[in-house]
Amino acid sequence: MLYSMFPLTEVERIHENLDALMNHSAFNAIHRSFPLLNVYETADQIILRGELPGVKREDISIDFKDGILTISGKKKSRECTEDTMMLCKERSDGPFEKSVKISKKINDSAISASLKDGVLTILLSKAEEARPKTIEIN
Amino acid sequence: MNLEDIQMSDNNLNQVNTTSRERPSQVSTNEKFFSPDTDIYNEKESLVITMDLPGVEKGNIKIEIDENNVLSVHAKTSYTKPGNPVLSEFESGDYYRAISLRDEFNRDAIKAQFEIGVLEITIPRKEEVKPKKIEISA
The confidence band for B59, taking pLDDT boundaries of 50, 70 and 90, is very high
Task: Return the amino acid letter for A127.
Answer: A
Q: How far apart are CA B122 and CA B111, in angstroms?
A: 5
Angle at A95 between CA B85 and CA A37, to 5 degrees: 5
- Put simply, the answer to whether A36 touches B42 (Cβ < 8 Å) is no
pTM of the complete model: 0.75
pLDDT at B101 over 70: yes
Instruction: Report the chain B residue with the minimal C-alpha distance to residue A81.
Output: B43
At B11 the pLDDT is: 40
Q: Which of A67, A44, A61 is nearest to A113 (CA)?
A: A61
Lowest mean pLDDT among A24-38, B84-98, B114-128: A24-38
| Local structure of residue A131 (DSSP, 8 states) | S
B78/A39: higher pLDDT: A39
Which residues of chain A, if any, have pLDDT below 70? 1-32
Angle at A133 between CA A129 and CA A137, to 5 degrees: 140
At B16 the pLDDT is: 41
The stretch B109-129 carries a mean pLDDT of: 93
- Put simply, the answer to whether A90 touches B37 (Cβ < 8 Å) is yes
**Residue A8 near residue B99, CB atoms below 8 Å:** yes
- Put simply, the answer to whether A32 touches B18 (Cβ < 8 Å) is yes
Which of B7, B44, B118 is the closest to A54 by Cβ?
A: B118
Which of B14, B89, B118 is the closest to A53 by Cβ?
A: B118
- Name which of A6, A34, A51, A76 to mutate to probe chain B: the one with the most chain B Cβ atoms within 10 A of its Cβ: A51
CA distance B133 to chain A (A): 24
